[in-house]
Amino acid sequence: MFQTAESRYNLWVREHYRFLMRSAWALTGSRAAAEDIVQDCFAAAWRHRDQLRQAESARAWLFQIMRRNARRHFSPGNLSIDDEAVAEQPAPDCGMDDRLDVVKVLTRISPIHGEVLALYYFDDMSTSLMADALEVAPGTVLSRLARAREALREAMLAPRARPRDALATSVTPLRRA
């Protein structure tokens, strides 16, 4: 069957959009930012599709492109959480509150740790595919995963001062006469 370039592109998007969107969202914490990054990823990937050597590696190759786009567009200080958008996405093994908490914490740990956790837990990617996507050795993936789990645990246990709490400690209550 003859396929046009447009139909091949549409098939590619259907096959990989959810994976890339979950990964970008986990890296940025923002649905809007993730959508922009994924759109840029598909545009760049389609322009350079002749560089994809094996069709089986498309997911890892697309992740590499998405990851580079995310790093170019965002720094850790510019990240924000889109709570409503996160709540719209179903989590297979945990409640919405747990999923939202994890996504928030992922933006507080290093990007290297966040991306390895997102690939492993959100996208069920094997360590060998993760190694291809991250351009590292499989042993490096395993050590990053162990360190990332520890960083996630520490970040989830660390108390976060809310602005309201910080304000309460700096304001003296008025006395009634």
Question: Are the CB atoms for 106 and 120 separated by under 8 Å?
Answer: no
- Residue closest to 70 by CA, chosen among 22, 102, 104: 22
Q: What is the pLDDT of residue 28?
A: 82
The 10 Å Cβ neighbour count of residue 164 is: 7
Angle at 107 between CA 105 and CA 108, to 5 degrees: 65
pLDDT per residue over 73-89, tens digit each?
Answer: 765 444 444 444 444 44
Tell which phi-psi region holds residue 7, choosing left (phi > 0), alpha (psi between -120 and 50) or beta.
alpha
**Tokens standing for 103?**
């996504």
Q: Any idea which residue has 């994890």 for tokens? A: 102
Q: What class is the 5-157 domain?
A: mainly alpha
Q: What is the pLDDT of residue 8?
A: 79
Q: Which residues contact 103 (CB under 8 A, 6 or more apart)?
A: 25, 26, 29, 81, 86
pLDDT per residue over 34-65, tens digit each?
Answer: 999 999 999 999 899 888 888 778 888 899 99
The pLDDT > 90 percentage for the chain reads 21
Question: Are the CB atoms for 75 and 27 separated by under 8 Å?
Answer: no
Higher local confidence (pLDDT), 112 or 3? 112
